């Protein structure tokens, strides 16, 4: 199975989009992608189930009133937060090695020392703490 995703970094004003944080209107979208897994942290028992996992679209938008960033296409009915949900990957030596390489690359390539970094969907903030 191949996964086809379309990514769009274009910005657009969403005149009627209501901010879920402050109820202000006029959020501005800045990133969208289609057909991505609706969960990235749900443990599944087989590769087959992982590859056939439900997908959905994502559109991130920024509220100019309060600064909140939200997925304006979020559909809570498609999510299953249960005992199978595990967001932490810090127990994996393989993941930690990957994360350390990523951090080195980000620090060297983007010179992010003494700068503010925003991680969207940061879970428990383990990556940011390590960064
Ligand atoms: Zn807002």
Contact 40, 49 (CB under 8 A): no
CB-based contacts of 70: which residues, under 8 Å, 6+ apart?
Answer: 19, 20, 21, 27, 60, 61, 63
In angstroms, what is the span from residue 130 Cα to ligand 1's centroid?
Answer: 29
CA atoms within 13 A on the CB side of 97: 3
In angstroms, what is the span from residue 93 Cα to ligand 1's centroid?
Answer: 39
DSSP H or E segment with residue 34: strand 25-37
Global pTM value: 0.62
* Nearest one of 4, 5, 19 to 58, comparing CA atoms: 5
In angstroms, what is the span from residue 62 Cα to ligand 1's centroid?
Answer: 8
Q: What is the pLDDT of residues 83-128, one digit of tens each?
A: 877 778 788 899 899 999 999 999 999 998 888 888 877 878 888 9
- Minimum mean pLDDT range among 10-19, 29-38, 68-77, 84-93: 10-19
In angstroms, what is the span from residue 28 Cα to ligand 1's centroid?
Answer: 11
In angstroms, what is the span from residue 5 Cα to ligand 1's centroid?
Answer: 28
Higher per-residue confidence, 72 vs 40: 72
In angstroms, what is the span from residue 20 Cα to ligand 1's centroid?
Answer: 7
In angstroms, what is the span from residue 70 Cα to ligand 1's centroid?
Answer: 9
**Where do the structural domains in the chain lie, given as residue ranges?**
1-86, 88-131
Q: Is pLDDT at 3 greater than 60 in this prediction?
A: no
């Amino acid at each position: 199975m191949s996964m086809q995703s379309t990514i769009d970094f274009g910005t657009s004003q969403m005149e009627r989009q209501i901010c879920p944080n402050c109820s202000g209107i006029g959020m501005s979208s800045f990133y969208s992608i289609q057909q991505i897994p609706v969960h990235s942290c749900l443990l599944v028992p087989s590769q087959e189930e992982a590859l056939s996992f439900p997908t959905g679209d994502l559109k991130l938008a920024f509220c100019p009133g309060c600064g909140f960033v939200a997925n304006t296409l979020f559909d809570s009915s498609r999510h299953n937060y249960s005992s199978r949900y595990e967001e932490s990957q810090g127990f994996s030596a393989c993941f930690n090695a990957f994360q350390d390489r990523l951090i080195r690359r980000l620090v060297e390539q983007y010179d992010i020392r003494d700068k503010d970094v925003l991680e969207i969907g940061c879970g428990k903030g383990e990556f940011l703490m390590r960064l």
